[in-house]
Structure 1
Amino acid sequence: MQDDINLGLMKRLSAAIIIFLTGCLAGAQIPVGAWRDHISYIRTTHVAVAGDIVYASAGAGITVYNKDDRSLSKLSRVHGLSDVDISSMRWAEEKGVLVIGYANGNVDLVAENRIINIPDIMRSNVAGSKRINNITIAGSLAYLSCNFGAVVLDLDRHEIRDTYFFGGAGARLSINDMEFDGEFIYAATSSGLYRASVDAPNLLDFSYWENLSFLPGNTRIYLSVALFEGSLYAVSMSRPGNYQCFRITGESFEQFGSPSSTPLGVRVSGGHLAMFNNDRLFLYGQGNTLVREIDDYGYWGLAVRDVEVDSEGEIWVADRSHGLIRVRGDNFRILVPPGPYSNRVFSIKSYPGRTYITAGGRDAAHTNLWQRGEYTFFSEESYSFNIDWDIHDILFVKEHPSDPEIKYVASWGYGLTEYREGNLYARYNEGNSTLRSIIPGDNFIRIGGMAFDKDNNLWVTNSGVPDLVSVLRNDGSWLSFPYGGITNHSQAGRIIINRHGHKWMLLPRGGGLFVFDADPYSEDRSADLYRRLSIVDEDNRRISNEVFSIAEDHNGNIWVGTNIGVVVYYIPERVFDEGSFPARRIVVEGARDEERGYLLNNETVTAIAVDGANRKWFGTEKSGAFLVSSDGRDQIYHFTTSNSPLLSNSVTDISVDPASGEVFIGTSAGTVSFRGKATESPGSFRDVYAFPNPVRESYDGPVTITGLVKNSIVKITDISGNLIYETVSLGGQAVWDGLNVRGQRVSTGIYLIFVSSPDGMQSHVTKLMFIH
């Protein structure tokens, strides 16, 4: 069974298809309704040379390099791939097909201008892991080495031909690699090296497969196998860190390479045998003569995972630490499309034209993941990443409101770090701040959240200690607040400051909410207002105190994400009044009465973001991302891996660029973005323009008019004044589909765009050229 994706016909992929087919990396904003990925192409594991095109897989995507025009492009779910977590890849020369295997058993075939998905293994009822470890091409067949056995894929018919299960008495061995020598089929397995005659009457019968018991440790793990100059080369692992390569000729064998070479794999390509590991690449030619040894790329060490040699003798390396490497003589060139350093995402924060993605984390028990101190900065279509090797688990990045070159980085265990113009300025700990360590005498300081108030004071939650909150005042001094005893809860999470100056703080792991109002310049706590909130309904029944996300909308309402959906506080300024302070659950209508229910009922809502039209974006733990109307009652979008390029249905965070409306969605597999219709309004008509302009005959997407005041009235006419289209902006932006009132694409010509504020006090006119 197959799912055939015709790239030329998929409108949601049209912008990305141009990237893939032309081999160019776009350097401009994407249209409204389009997607793009923000994934890392550094950690490459497989390389395939297809004539003038070189492919290198990197987990969630593939680097595509064109040797003719020297262009780099990307191939990911945004461009039509069906999945993420690529575990194997090979080029089938005879059929002109790139075969891609995934860790979940899914398979894609990339051929000319289409991608064919073969999900049979993924959808099968095979128990346990379905990971495709390697792919061996034999004419029109692809042999897939899987964790449960071997699968033979017919590249002509796009279907599974056979499945071989290895192991006696019902046991199943993992297959790591396969090879052919014309007489035998060899399989490197998790318990020895096996072979079977190509003429065996039934390869499905395991009794026809023979373990090469003459090899030492014949039940050890075999990782890789390759045929070169009549001998078989096999890499085995007796224990972690102890690898050997054997050269096998007939029934005899010998260890190949020096004992210190510890090979991870072997590969035959371009008339050479490549043997590689984390430190070196060895290339052998005729007569097993060592013709090249590479131990660095000039400045960097190696982490080789795959190698190919092309017809011109150039060496192409998939390097786990550096990306795709081209080796031409003594020259080394790293070929990596722009993107983050890694695909880990904890939080995303967007400012106008600038977005930060943090790569730290903590587990469900709020213990450290020990990820390197890393965040990525995306602006003006380019990426830069900051790696601080002295800290781990960066959770949040905030810019100073008056100077974006001053950045504050919060970590889970390493306190707060301040950077100025890219340089380390201060690392705040027990010695120079009121932040406190969870380990007495150490500086293991866990920051759960931070937010600036209107006076540019930075409020920081300090988890696990009695003084749950500290503030870095705008004069550089610090003050702490002993709220741990008041909350009777040791965990402190994200914090927001609303329009009334009240601080709303999440108390993770069942603590509900804590709201307070305190003077950052007074050490007298007697005037503080505070309240711990158990999230209850109008009848004072608990809804849930498991809280994960929080946001204030344009009307001042507070939206909170829990493990059973969303609640809203509609009059948050009354939070300190006596008596009950209930939250509201939004009732949404279904197609039938019995389908009425609460907004995102029983979903764990991990992220909330508000766009320029006051609409709400929600990220969930298992069900993808949602966009709902400003009141939450109408669903506008529900994006999942089934209907969008979303990389995973487990969403970690969402942020909206207020200037462009681009929605950044972080998931457990990486980040993608979607260009939304709504932007924040500038308050007056500034820099009003339409794009694309001109609209060329090859473009069939929407036209965007931006720079508008909130709820602008937009009218589009032809040059004679005939009304073509009318709408109201979403925040500071309006979208036109390019159709006239009869639903037809408009003719070639100049069109006038008249915009006015809702009260008619402001107006503006701009022009647009349409080429049809």
Structure 2
Amino acid sequence: MTKSIFSFLFILSLQMGFSQNKLSWQGYFSYNEIKDVAASNTALYAASENALFSVKTSTNEIKTTTTLDGLSGQTISAMYYSAAFNKRVVGYQNGLLTVLNESDNTILKVVDIISKQLPANVKKINDFMEYEGILYISCDFGIVQFNLKTMLFGDTYFIGNNGAQLQVRQTAILGAYIYAATNNGIRRALVANKNLNDYQQWTQVAADDCVAIRSFDTDLVAINTSGFVYKYNSNSNLFVGFTQLPQPAVALYASADYMVITTAKSLYLYNRQFVLLRQIDNKTIPGITSDFTCATSIAEKLYIGTKADGLLVTTLATSSGFESVTPMGPLRNSIFALENGSDFFWAVYGDYSGEYNPYDLDSYGISKFSKEGWLNIPYSEVLGAKSIVRVLINPTNENQVYMGSSYSGLLKIENNVPTFLYNQTNSGLDEISFIPGYNNDVRVNGGVFDASGNLWLNNSLVKEGLKVFKTNGQWQSYPIDKVLDKSEDVSYGRMAIDKYGTKWLATNRDGVIGFNESSNTFKKITFGPDTGNLPYSDARVAAVDTNGQLWIGTTKGLRVLSSVANFKTDKQLTTSPIIILEDKLAQELLYEQFITDIVVDGANNKWIGTADSGVFMVSEDGKETKYHFTINNSPLPSNGINDIAINKSSGEVFIATDKGMISFRGLATSANQDLSKVYVYPNPVRPEYTGEVKISGLVDQANIKITDVTGNLVFETTAEGGTVAWDTTAFGKYKVASGVYMIFISAEDGIETKVKKVMIIR
């Protein structure tokens, strides 16, 4: 099997000061979909979906810029580098403009285009063109001026007939004129004209719907939507045909010496005499399966952007090969589900709509991140499994992983190799049969391992939707349809299992179903005061906390079952909302919120993902919201949360969104059974370090005292979970001096103790 294991090229952390405390973040972004490229004399700049990177042409050294550095998580549509001002300018589909000053690494977000009183769907930024310090920004409504020195916007040009909006794809300067390629032909005006905001100053010089226009040496080149390439004849004041491309162009770039025309399948390199020097077809590049998106040249190198295979570099010579110069990361940014093991995690990219509809089906691979770096397994090697939406790691054998598909059944992976695909033909899983035309559609969206190592699975839209795959290789089905209102017409969300062996299944029509095979009993918690008191019958997740409470997230809010032990005794299980005080008024926690996931950390805090409001971290009882992370106060690239996973040993919280994944490293690690694995980091604490000292590997409720060498107490606390933090102050009053500090740790019962040391260097 052909796979690529990549070293992780960057470990990004950012100390971001919020009203909480200093928080530690790390990014896990994909750079494989190249949106645009730009060049300086020494570097190639590339924009992926919502992140940037640069490549030094002399060394291929790579530097990345992400939301952790201050970028927006929105989708990038265009990028430009100004050599005169040493600035990168990034344009977004929603009209946001971001300027990166390369000299001091500052980032400025400019919202003038977003703020314009125009429909949201016409604010996309398509291209940048610089002339005498002014950046002409091509947008779906017209042209906007931006002064690169003052960082202020100038005039806006609506250049259509009678001042109508026109979709401007690119602009170019040739001689005394500025030209605009639009969806209604090419228009031009005198660039020195002070009244360019008057549409009457613009005249149409070509009628074709044009996608690109660039000045190249003393010529002007334009391309229409059918792939016909024109050159401008200044003598006749007409555009004349140059060549017909076999398919439409997606990008046109021109440097001092070369012009590159890019189509989805091919690119064409021309010199100043318009001689074709090199044609490259994507099917001739080994390992490349995706379309081209853009290309440009620097000196004798050619850089090629692709839709899913990152950035490639080759030389202008026709015989040269290709090299990838893409930062390592997951296959895609939109990670739909993930799950972590002891020191790794798996990520998958299939998805479905809010109604659990997986169509159009996704054909994506899968990814694993570990200390060795990224392992990306392409779709061609996952045995045809489409729309993979869930990861299930065997807790007794982490080399054995199962992945649920919302169309193809269950994929088995052993030692990082996909080995078997379970479906209706070779397992106890069933295909949809009650809907005509849905042949071979086998949906598995959730699963849990029980204490005996059996794998319990849900199987949507079939009669017996609860399955168990036993350790002996046998399958068994359970008649969950007996407790459902709609029998087969039910889709399942996530699953959970409690210490009594009760399985909890979230459903889209019947709330949450509990099942315990020891008594062969099903019970339902659904909408209505007498049938469970859920706020809505569409439940997405059920999570059991360390106190035995069941936290249920629905598409319209949150409920909590006080004890999973009630399953044995109560005929009807009933949940309650969590009532909090907000502005001295009683409020329901997460009222009407679409909850996508709930995960319990080592200190019994709850991490709650939502469809459009970011991530909430609430206290053990839910009465206190400790964090609420959104795109406005954190590096989250999106408020749409797909999945959350927590490494119980390190406390790292992985948050997967529809625009990329980041992680948050807090203090809530799982408590250890004893004090044999206590460690202190960083140690020593050097002068340049401004963060906290962490003491990890603790037992729950351990007492920690820190003293100087003479025995003066400077810090004391009780552990809630497996980690505590010390800010290196004496009870928050002042920073302690340089020296060795003793850390005395004792278990709650006082029987077990441990002593550690930490060196502080100021």
TM-score (norm 1): 0.90
Aligned partner of 2:471 in structure 1 is 474
Q: Output the CA distance in 2 between the equivalents of 1:30 and 1:351.
A: 25
Shift of 1:107: 0.9
Aligned partner of 1:582 in structure 2 is 574
Q: Which of residues 266, 270, 274 in structure 2 aligns to 1:288?
A: 274
Say which SS state the counterpart of residue 233 (structure 1) adopts.
Answer: strand
Shift of 1:414: 0.3
AA paired with 1:291? Answer: L
Shift of 1:745: 2.6
Q: Output the CA distance in 1 between the equivalents of 2:163 and 2:244.
A: 38
Q: Which of residues 204, 211, 222 in structure 2 aligns to 1:223?
A: 211
AA paired with 1:285? Answer: N
Shift of 1:438: 0.6
Aligned partner of 1:518 in structure 2 is 517
Task: Please show how residues 497-512 of structure 1 align to structure 2 within 5 Å.
Answer: 497-508=497-508, 510-512=509-511
Shift of 1:146: 0.8
Aligned partner of 1:460 in structure 2 is 457
Aligned partner of 1:616 in structure 2 is 606
1:648 and 1:542, CA in 2 relative to 1: closer, same or farther beyond 3 A?
closer
Shift of 1:757: 1.4
Shift of 1:204: 0.7
Deviations 1:609-668 (A, max 9, x none): 111100011111221111111110011111111111111111121111111111111112
Shift of 1:75: 0.5
Q: Output the CA distance in 2 between the equivalents of 1:426 and 1:114.
A: 50
Aligned partner of 1:19 in structure 2 is none
Aligned partner of 1:89 in structure 2 is 79
Say which SS state the counterpart of residue 501 (structure 1) adopts.
Answer: coil
Shift of 1:153: 0.7
Shift of 1:33: 2.0
Q: Output the CA distance in 2 between the equivalents of 1:669 and 1:28.
A: 17
Aligned partner of 2:242 in structure 1 is 256
Q: Output the CA distance in 2 between the equivalents of 1:118 and 1:540.
A: 49
Is 1:402 the counterpart of 2:402 in the alignment?
Answer: no
The answer (yes or no) to whether the contact 2:525–2:533 under 8 Å persists in 1 is no
Aligned partner of 1:566 in structure 2 is 558
AA paired with 2:136? Answer: Y
Q: Which of residues 687, 696, 720 in structure 2 aligns to 1:730?
A: 720
The answer (yes or no) to whether the contact 1:99–1:108 under 8 Å persists in 2 is yes
Shift of 1:381: 6.7
Shift of 1:373: 3.8
Q: Output the CA distance in 2 between the equivalents of 1:261 and 1:435.
A: 45
The answer (yes or no) to whether the contact 2:163–2:198 under 8 Å persists in 1 is no
Shift of 1:578: 4.8
Shift of 1:364: 2.1
Is 1:435 the counterpart of 2:429 in the alignment?
Answer: yes
Q: Output the CA distance in 2 between the equivalents of 1:431 and 1:420.
A: 21
TM-score (norm 2): 0.91
Q: Output the CA distance in 1 between the equivalents of 2:634 and 2:373.
A: 24
Single out whichever of 379-388 and 274-283 deviates more from structure 2. Answer: 379-388
The answer (yes or no) to whether the contact 2:31–2:329 under 8 Å persists in 1 is yes
Question: Percent identity, aligned pairs only?
Answer: 29
Aligned partner of 2:297 in structure 1 is 309
Aligned partner of 1:17 in structure 2 is none
Single out whichever of 638-647 and 441-450 deviates more from structure 2. Answer: 441-450
Q: Output the CA distance in 2 between the equivalents of 1:266 and 1:653.
A: 39
Deviations 1:704-748 (A, max 9, x none): 121111222222222222222222223111111222235323322
Single out whichever of 601-610 and 440-449 deviates more from structure 2. Answer: 440-449
1:378 and 1:745, CA in 2 relative to 1: closer, same or farther beyond 3 A?
same
Q: Output the CA distance in 2 between the equivalents of 1:345 and 1:399.
A: 17
The alignment yields a C-alpha RMSD, in angstroms, of: 2.2
Say which SS state the counterpart of residue 246 (structure 2) adopts.
Answer: helix
Q: Output the CA distance in 1 between the equivalents of 2:372 and 2:134.
A: 41
AA paired with 1:483? Answer: I
Q: Output the CA distance in 2 between the equivalents of 1:294 and 1:586.
A: 61
Aligned partner of 2:228 in structure 1 is 244
Q: Which of residues 759, 762, 769 in structure 1 aligns to 2:749?
A: 759
Shift of 1:337: 1.4
Deviations 1:196-247 (A, max 9, x none): 122334111112111224xxxx242x1111111322111111xxxx322111
Single out whichever of 578-587 and 623-632 deviates more from structure 2. Answer: 578-587
Shift of 1:536: 4.4
Shift of 1:579: 4.2
Aligned partner of 2:356 in structure 1 is 366
1:52 and 1:512, CA in 2 relative to 1: closer, same or farther beyond 3 A?
same
1:393 and 1:144, CA in 2 relative to 1: closer, same or farther beyond 3 A?
same
Aligned partner of 2:159 in structure 1 is 166
Say which SS state the counterpart of residue 286 (structure 1) adopts.
Answer: coil
Q: Output the CA distance in 1 between the equivalents of 2:329 and 2:733.
A: 39
The answer (yes or no) to whether the contact 1:535–1:583 under 8 Å persists in 2 is no
Q: Output the CA distance in 2 between the equivalents of 1:751 and 1:611.
A: 30
The answer (yes or no) to whether the contact 2:532–2:575 under 8 Å persists in 1 is no
Aligned partner of 1:388 in structure 2 is 379
The answer (yes or no) to whether the contact 1:536–1:582 under 8 Å persists in 2 is no
Aligned partner of 2:189 in structure 1 is 196
Aligned partner of 1:18 in structure 2 is none
Task: Please show how residues 636-651 of structure 1 align to structure 2 within 5 Å.
Answer: 636-651=626-641
Single out whichever of 468-477 and 713-722 deviates more from structure 2. Answer: 713-722
Q: Output the CA distance in 2 between the equivalents of 1:381 and 1:750.
A: 35
Aligned partner of 2:4 in structure 1 is none
1:308 and 1:375, CA in 2 relative to 1: closer, same or farther beyond 3 A?
same
Q: Output the CA distance in 2 between the equivalents of 1:286 and 1:579.
A: 83
Single out whichever of 609-618 and 748-757 deviates more from structure 2. Answer: 748-757
Size of the aligned set, in residue pairs, is 729
Gaps of 5+ in 2: 1-7, 16-21
Q: Output the CA distance in 2 between the equivalents of 1:66 and 1:693.
A: 35
Q: Output the CA distance in 1 between the equivalents of 2:233 and 2:481.
A: 71
Is 1:411 the counterpart of 2:396 in the alignment?
Answer: no
The answer (yes or no) to whether the contact 1:147–1:175 under 8 Å persists in 2 is yes
The answer (yes or no) to whether the contact 1:547–1:561 under 8 Å persists in 2 is yes
Shift of 1:754: 1.9
Task: Please show how residues 26-425 of structure 1 align to structure 2 within 5 Å.
Answer: 26-27=10-11, 33-67=23-57, 70-111=60-101, 112=103, 113-129=105-121, 130-169=123-162, 171-213=164-206, 218-220=207-209, 222-237=210-225, 242-250=226-234, 251-260=237-246, 262-296=248-282, 298-301=285-288, 303-310=291-298, 312-328=299-315, 329=317, 330-369=320-359, 370-380=361-371, 382-389=373-380, 390-425=384-419
Q: Output the CA distance in 2 between the equivalents of 1:230 and 1:26.
A: 43
AA paired with 2:348? Answer: T
Deviations 1:67-86 (A, max 9, x none): 45543232011111134211
AA paired with 2:428? Answer: T
Aligned partner of 1:667 in structure 2 is 657
Say which SS state the counterpart of residue 122 (structure 1) adopts.
Answer: helix
Say which SS state the counterpart of residue 744 (structure 2) adopts.
Answer: strand
The answer (yes or no) to whether the contact 2:743–2:757 under 8 Å persists in 1 is yes
The answer (yes or no) to whether the contact 1:513–1:535 under 8 Å persists in 2 is no
1:425 and 1:538, CA in 2 relative to 1: closer, same or farther beyond 3 A?
same
Deviations 1:480-528 (A, max 9, x none): 11222431332222211111101111111x3211111115xxxxxxx51
Single out whichever of 296-305 and 470-479 deviates more from structure 2. Answer: 296-305
AA paired with 2:269? Answer: L
Single out whichever of 470-479 and 69-78 deviates more from structure 2. Answer: 69-78
Say which SS state the counterpart of residue 573 (structure 1) adopts.
Answer: helix
Shift of 1:411: 0.1
Deviations 1:658-709 (A, max 9, x none): 1111111111212111111110122112332222222221121122121111
Aligned partner of 1:484 in structure 2 is 481
Q: Output the CA distance in 2 between the equivalents of 1:318 and 1:547.
A: 42
Say which SS state the counterpart of residue 264 (structure 1) adopts.
Answer: strand
Q: Output the CA distance in 2 between the equivalents of 1:488 and 1:742.
A: 58
Task: Please show how residues 530-569 of structure 1 align to structure 2 within 5 Å.
Answer: 530-537=522-529, 543-569=535-561
Shift of 1:537: 4.6
Aligned partner of 2:19 in structure 1 is none
The answer (yes or no) to whether the contact 1:25–1:74 under 8 Å persists in 2 is no
Q: Output the CA distance in 2 between the equivalents of 1:28 and 1:681.
A: 27
Q: Output the CA distance in 1 between the equivalents of 2:505 and 2:744.
A: 44
Say which SS state the counterpart of residue 288 (structure 1) adopts.
Answer: coil
1:714 and 1:673, CA in 2 relative to 1: closer, same or farther beyond 3 A?
same
Aligned partner of 2:3 in structure 1 is none
AA paired with 1:759? Answer: D
